[in-house]
Amino acid sequence: MTIRVLLADDQALLRAAFRILIESCDDMEVAGEAPDGAKAIELARAHRPDLVLMDIRLPGGDGLAATSAICADPELSATRVLVLATSEIDEDVAEALRAGASGFLGKEVTADVLLDGIRTVAAGEALLSPLATRALITRFLVTPAEDSRLAAPEDLAALTAQEREVLGRVAEGHSNEEIAEKLGVSPPDVRAHVHRAMTKLGARDRAQLVVIAYQSGLVRAVPPPSGVL
């Protein structure tokens, strides 16, 4: 299956570089280019791409507002958003995750990491680096604004014991294969548990499951190492 990617960045040179990189891959194509947030929303609704590669800093309706609008649109439920940010521990990235983004990368990543990230998010997986995830959760996700809270402790009552166990390990950043090995089950079994947890908790994807796990208290945040802000 070809992954259709919408590019949202205000720098034409950077969009051109992304286009060349993406179209060098047999499994990807560029569905459109947007220089600002408003155009990103318009093109997402027109072309319904598999993924939007979203610069968090955009004029004309910023990347956060565009992410929120795209992720909240029921007609774009199959479209994922991968945010690009200058800092992996920026509060704006936490806001993007709350808005429904499926992951984020720092702009300093290599081409291979970016392409792998696009494939990961398009496949419905979360893309959260361990360092950035720990810092973000500790600083922002555990104490969200009331209107952005995704879950309360009582919401976990809908989950089975196995689903809670899998959810906790997802929140710790483990892959399906790692979880399967730890629990003595098959990777398809883990995927099934993740899918059921998403359905029961109303999560869009694994990124929101991570937020829910911490906000509900299932997993406790560990303060980042000294010097990491």
- The answer to whether domain 3-127 and domain 148-215 are alike in fold is no
**In this structure, which topology does domain 148-215 adopt according to CATH?**
Arc Repressor Mutant, subunit A (1.10.10)
60-106 pLDDT, tens digit per residue, is: 768 889 999 999 899 998 999 999 887 655 566 677 777 788 887 87
Show me where the domains of the chain are located. 3-127, 148-215
CB atoms within 10 A of CB 56: 24
Render pLDDT for 14-68 as a digit per residue (tens, 0 to 9).
Answer: 999 999 999 999 999 999 999 999 999 999 999 999 999 999 888 876 888 999 9
Residue showing tokens 């969009």? 15
- Statement: the pTM of the whole predicted model exceeds 0.75: no
Confidence of residue 176 (pLDDT cuts 50, 70, 90): confident
pLDDT tens digits, 116-166: 889 988 887 767 655 555 555 555 555 555 555 556 678 889 999 999 999
DSSP letters for 45-96: HHH--SEEEEESS-SSS-HHHHHHHHHH-GGGTT-EEEEEES-TT-HHHHHH
CATH number, domain 3-127 = 3.40.50.2300
